[in-house]
Structure 1
Amino acid sequence: MNNNNYLEDFITRSTYHSNAIEGSTLTYAETYAILFNDNSFKISGREPREIYEAINHKKAMNVLFEKLKSDDLELNEEFIKKINETINQDIRDTKGYRKVSVMIKGSDDIPPKPEQLNNLMMYFVYNYNHNETKDIFEKIAGFHIEFEHIHPFEDGNGRTGRLLINFELLKNNIPPIVIPKEERTKYFELLRSKDITALASWLKELSDKEKERIELFNSSNS
């Protein structure tokens, strides 16, 4: 992740696809212009929310990168809340876990009640940190499926969860992933099925593709 050209590419793709999965209509070019102040590209007719979503996703990625530089790499609730708070900045004035019941779009899964969240999240994070599953992709897949089921926040659970996948991958020196918006249906089906093995296999496939992309950027700079 030391290649600045790759980093810019990764931040743009990650932001564009993650937000598009949630319904953003920004184009890739618009996303890049917003994130990297490309004033030569004019953006008009877009909802302010979509622009904030792009800006906030980049800010949340920077929160992630800063934690990766720290001595404390263990996943904790404070970090999870910080990621979500950053994602919702200037969009939704909510901090911490949700205080209302929610439904998961396109799913029959019913998330836990708000009063259950403090205990659930405490045990969820503890169990993940003490999970001795040797296959890191299976460990992360199980984590992501459970996180999206709990749906601890009012908004931004998907974006938060996908950033946490990349935090755990990068923490373990594994290339990150970008889930393409074109594979949104497959992604949601894997979450609905709660098939850890299938999701783990797909995450590894996406990470392997990203490794090839990183190598391409590195070779073009050498």
Structure 2
Amino acid sequence: MPLSGRLLKNAHYLMCNSERYRKKYPGEFRNSPVWIGKEGCSLKNALFVPPVYEDMTDAFSELERYINYEKSENVFVRAALIHYQFETIHPFIDANGRTGRLLNTLYLLENGIIQKPVLRWSEILWRCSDRYYAELQQVHETGVFDNWIRFFLDSLKRAAANDDLPVINRL
């Protein structure tokens, strides 16, 4: 199956198939607004507000096209841009971070960069979550991707280095 909304919906359903996510529509794209911020924040004081449903579906279609048909940039730069765009679209009510990291892992597998899906990327991003969110927000505010790409590549390198398995074919 190609890297697509359908694949990610299926994966999201499997990841969120528990009582904790019962009311968060596992496996379905959201059709209501969401916002990102400190626990308990409101729409008014949110750090980031992803696009509304109509814009989200168009943006996701563009992302699918970019993932599967445009092969212009270096694969690592493309992975950074794919991750940024997925997190910006924020297609699910919850578990977008895990789904986005899975998307990147599958993308790197598909492109022969890693041999097994064993990156400890969640752990790395958790340790530097404030910077992670700041870098995403900086791109959103400025449209400049350079620092985001450097941060992404550094976190990816650190995630790969945490494993005893030789997962990187080329960097």
Task: Give yes or no for TM over 0.5.
Answer: yes
Distance 1:85 1:151 in 2: 15
For the pair 1:87 / 2:15, whether they are aligned, the reply is yes
1:107-164 Cα shifts (integer Å, max 9, x gaps): 5332111233333322221133222333112111111111111111111111111111
| Aligned counterparts, 1:182-193, within 5 A | 182-193=127-138
Structural mapping, 1:91-170, within 5 Å: 91-93=20-22, 94=25, 95-105=27-37, 108-170=47-109
Measure, in 2, the Cα distance between the counterparts of 1:134 and 1:203: 15
Instruction: Provide closer, same or farther for how the CA distance between residues 207 and 92 of structure 1 changes in structure 2, counting only shifts above 3 A.
Output: closer
Provide the residue aligned with 1:178 in structure 2.
121
Q: Percent identity?
A: 23
Contact 2:83/2:100 (8 A) holds in 1: yes
Which ranges of structure 2 fall in alignment gaps of 5 or more residues?
Answer: 39-45, 167-171
Query: Number of residues paired by the alignment?
Result: 145
- Displacement, 1:102? 0.6
Distance of aligned partners of 1:197 and 1:78 in 2 relative to their CA distance in 1, 3 Å threshold: same
**1:185 & 1:202 partners in 2: Cα distance?**
12
Structure 1 residues 141 and 80: alpha-carbon distance in aligned structure 2, compared to 1, 3 A threshold: same
What per-residue deviation string (whole Å, max 9, x for no partner) do you get for residues 154-188 of structure 1? 11111111111111112222244514222111111
Alignment of 1:20-39 (within 5 A): none
Pick from 148, 151, 154 the counterpart of residue 205 of structure 1.
154
The structure with more helix, counted as a fraction of residues: 1
Partner AA of 1:133 in structure 2: S
Q: What RMSD, in angstroms, separates the aligned Cα atoms of the two structures?
A: 2.4
Which protein is bigger by CA-based radius of gyration?
A: 1
TM-score for the superposition, normalised by structure 1 = 0.57
SS at match of 1:133: coil
CA contact (8 A) 1:101 1:114 kept: yes
Equivalent residues of 2:90, 2:96 under 8 A apart: yes
**What's the CA shift for 1:212?**
4.1
Residue of structure 2 in register with 1:29 after alignment: none
Report the secondary structure of 1:92's partner residue: helix
Q: Which runs of 5+ in 1 are unaligned?
A: 1-71
- Secondary structure of the corresponding residue to residue 165 of structure 1: helix
